[in-house]
Amino acid sequence: MLYPAKARFSSTSGLENILIGHSHIEWKGEKFTEDAFSWQSPVLGTVYGCLFNFQDQVETLANQFTQSPYQKPPMRPVLYIKPRNTMNAHLKEVAIPTGENMVEINATLGVVIGKTATNVKEADAFDYIEGYTIVSDVSLPHDNFYRPAIKQKARDGFCPIGPWVVSKKHVSNPDNLTIWTFKNDELIHINSTKDLIRSIPQLIQDVTEFMTLSKGDVLLVGVPNNPPTASAGDTIRIEIDRIGSLENRFVYENVHIAGGDKV
């Protein structure tokens, strides 16, 4: 069964309409394998991450929330930004900085905003969603949530996105999607959006109460508790129900494996 999606390639200037199959992609009436393309991020807006939105993560950190400086669990979404320099794409390499041995893989669902969203009510939230994509929120390991983790989260290429955006009408229940993470084809982590503290509509309501989301922005639903790690030489593949599969190889900085010609 084929279903439509939108993607961006190195050889094109805008989003392309494609059809996704089990083992191939159809574009302009022709069939291709995924490795025939040089993929780019299908979204170019601001990427907003959200901490403490998975139940098991909050339960693990419950004792820390009662200590200084917070004294109690956060009452509103705790957000951070993955800036433009972090954007990366399907089948692209991710560079591990010199002096670091590993990175964390925060596999998550990206909610792509379809129009300007300000003070959105939970009941109307889906009207502001264009679709969904897969995001690998790569981070250097850290355990300090009390100040922005810019050094850990904002490294070049630390936010692979894609491969494509699937329209919301083809994802019947985004609050019940399983997220699988594989390392070198071995399943190492499973998560599900059914375990979100704030559902996607509630998250959009709570975020847009104090800030505007624009068309093309991406809101990450949360990061998993105790995320798996990757080192140089590892290949990470993230799969999400109804969305697809995002794959990246990890290398040391200044190491690049040249590929053949692609679309």
Q: 92: how many CB neighbours lie within 10 A of its CB?
A: 18
Is the domain covering 41-252 a CATH 2.60.40.1180 domain? no
**Dihedral (Cα; 72, 77, 78, 79), 10-degree rounding:** -170
Q: Which residues contact 76 (CB under 8 A, 6 or more apart)?
A: 206, 210
- Condensed to tens digits (0 to 9), the pLDDT of residues 137-146 reads 999 987 766 5
* Strand locations in 14-59 (E): 16-20, 25-27, 30-32, 39-40, 47-51
Give the pLDDT score at 61.
Answer: 61
- Condensed to tens digits (0 to 9), the pLDDT of residues 176-217 reads 999 999 999 999 999 999 999 999 999 999 999 999 999 999
Give the pLDDT score at 147.
Answer: 62
Distance CA 63, CA 84 (A): 34
What does each of the 263 residues of the chain score in pLDDT, given as a tens digit? 789 999 999 988 899 999 998 889 999 999 999 999 999 999 999 999 998 887 766 666 666 666 666 666 666 778 999 999 999 999 999 999 999 999 999 999 999 999 999 999 999 999 999 999 999 999 998 776 656 678 889 999 999 999 999 999 999 999 999 999 999 999 999 999 999 999 999 999 999 999 999 999 999 999 888 899 999 999 999 999 999 999 999 999 876 544 445 77
CB 18 within 8 A of CB 26: yes
User: Count of alpha carbons within 13 Å of 82, Cβ hemisphere only?
Assistant: 29
Q: In the chain, what's the furthest Cα-to-Cα distance?
A: 59
Give the pLDDT score at 255.
Answer: 65
Give the pLDDT score at 69.
Answer: 65
Give the pLDDT score at 259.
Answer: 46
Per domain, the residue ranges of the chain are: 41-252
CB 228 within 8 A of CB 189: yes
Phi, psi of 52 (to 5 degrees): 60, 40
How big is the chain by its Cα radius of gyration, in Å?
18
